[in-house]
Structure 1
Amino acid sequence: MNFTKNSGLVKVWVSLVLGGTYKLEEVPRLFNLKEVVTEVVKETTTI
């Protein structure tokens, strides 16, 4: 299973990280979830 930027779980974790509830280090290593969430957060915060 591979997650994409449009996956529901990715969107949930991105909002939790951006909202300060969790840190990037706390995103679980589930398939490629952590990598995709990290990528989206970095894209969002560098704009």
Structure 2
Amino acid sequence: MFNKNSGLVKVWVSLIMVGTYKLEQVPALSNLKEVVTEVINATASS
């Protein structure tokens, strides 16, 4: 299970933030997409 401090989550968040990938492109791997979405939404609302 991934959480907001997982390395893979941080990598995907940074790739999405710089525009390399879109949120829809996060692979369906365990709860990865869900956690990345939460982090992106939390960052966007800050």
Q: How far apart are the structure 1 equivalents of 2:38 and 2:18?
A: 16
1:9 deviation in Å?
0.2
Moved over 3 A (4+): none
RMSD over aligned CA atoms reads 0.4
Query: Distance between the aligned counterparts of 1:45 and 1:19, measured in 2?
Result: 13
Q: How many residues align?
A: 46
Q: CA deviation at 1:39?
A: 0.3
Structure 1: segments with no counterpart, 5+ residues: none
* Residue segments in structure 2 that go unaligned for 5+ positions in a row: none
TM-score, length-scaled by structure 1: 0.95
CA-CA distance at 1:25 after TM superposition: 0.2
Q: What is the rounded CA distance, in whole Å, between the counterparts of 1:37 and 1:44 in structure 2?
A: 11
